[in-house]
Amino acid sequence: MQIHKALVVAFGCVLSLAASAQWQWLDNSGNKVFSDRAPPPDIPSKNILRQPGGTPKPKAVAAAEAPASAASAPKISGTDKALEEKKKQAEDAEAAKRKAETDKIAATKAENCQRAKQSKANYDSGMRIARVNEKGEREILDDAARAAETKRLQDVMASDCQ
């Protein structure tokens, strides 16, 4: 039974050590924040109330450290270079995707233009042109249908052959 009690006490001590590894600081709106992670870089060191280790930072030491650490440490821009690189890669990938889509649309328009020109040449040649209707029967186009199809082909050429 004694060993059991000793294990419970030891576990309690270890648990309290983990709880003491907490950060405490005042955020920009003046609220106290408790976390197991360090505060963001935009929080000034004077607003950090407690660091891991369980002891609060004395106000006089904190005030003296602030100017010294600010002078010795390089200024942090608040951005991460890896994050900037990922953002640049994402923007490049998006630009490549847009360019591929634009190229695909341009190729489709060029193909449509070429087909419309060939069809218009067939209609302008004066040869009889036949189509298969919904019933599967072959029918010859009359002058009105030929004119309507020629007009449609001119519209396709006007939109796709630019």
Structure tokens at 58: 């004395």
pLDDT at position 60: 46
Torsion, CA 94, CA 100, CA 102, CA 106, rounded to 10: 180
Contact assessment for residue 144 and residue 153, using Cβ atoms and an 8 Å cutoff: no
Which strands sit side by side in the sheet containing 32-35, from one edge to the other? 32-35, 23-26, 48-50
Structure tokens at 30: 């003046």
pLDDT in tens, the chain (162 residues): 788 788 787 777 666 655 555 888 898 888 988 888 888 888 888 888 888 865 555 554 445 455 544 444 444 555 688 888 999 999 999 999 999 999 999 999 999 999 999 999 988 888 898 989 999 999 998 989 899 999 999 999 999 887
Structure tokens at 119: 């069809």
